[in-house]
Amino acid sequence: YRYDGLGRRVCSKTSLGLHLQFFYADLIYPTRITHVYNHSSSEITSLYYDLQGHLFAMEISSGDEFYIASDNTGTPLAVFSSNGLMLKQIQYTAYGEIYFDSNLDFQLVIGFHGGLYDPLTKLIHFGQRDYDILAGRWTTPDIEI
């Protein structure tokens, strides 16, 4: 992982060759990811949020549009095509582990409670801290308390 001066994750690179770069172009909410560049496929994904800050749509540079149904905490539960077809359904445990995913090939970077999800490590990045799904705990103490 790589982070900027504000503690935001700006890059994620795995040994499997997946290389993602994250952009934060929302001036009102500077920790909100607005674009993801996939270096492996050269695709840019634009992320769109509602007034509560929950992801509701995404658009890939190829022109494909998708709509995301989230719960009241910002956890994505389903992804629909622009035609209204359900492409992906996700179910989580109480601690955020995915126990059902209807389409493993369709990856979402936004996960449990709207955090940045890493499927390899099962960590979710929230602002300046990571949450370990399997342990059900934060990996570092909250410095703001």
Domain-located, residue 143: no
The pLDDT assigned to 39 comes to 92
| 15 vs 88, higher pLDDT | 88
pLDDT above 90 as % of the chain: 68
CA-wise closest residue to 24 among 39, 4, 43: 4
Provide the residue range defining the domain that includes 52: 2-138
pLDDT of 143 strictly over 90? no
In a domain, 35, yes or no: yes
Res 101 pLDDT > 90: yes
Q: Is residue 145 part of a domain?
A: no
- pLDDT of res. 119: 84
Q: What is the pLDDT of residue 141?
A: 81
What does the alpha-carbon distance between residue 69 and residue 88 come to, in Å, rounded to a whole number?
A: 10
Once rounded to an integer, what is the mean pLDDT over residues 40-66?
94
> Whose CA is closest to 30, among 128, 113, 141?
128
Radius of gyration from C-alpha coordinates of the chain? 15
pTM for the model:
0.88
pLDDT digits (tens, 9 = 90+) for 108-142: 999 999 999 988 888 998 877 889 998 889 988 87
Per-residue pLDDT for 23 more than 70?
Answer: yes
Task: Give dist(CA 71, CA 74) in Å, integer.
Answer: 5
Helix%, strand%, coil% for the chain, nearest 5: 0, 45, 50
38 falls within a domain = yes
Domain count within the chain = 1
> What is the per-residue DSSP string for 14-71?
-TTS-EEEEE---SSSTTS--EEEETTTTEEEEEEE-TTS-EEEEEETTS-EEEEEE-
pLDDT of 64 reads: 94
Mean pLDDT score across all residues of the chain: 91
Residue, of 34 and 129, whose pLDDT is higher: 34
Instruction: Inform me whether the pLDDT recorded for 40 exceeds 90.
Output: no
pLDDT at 127: 79
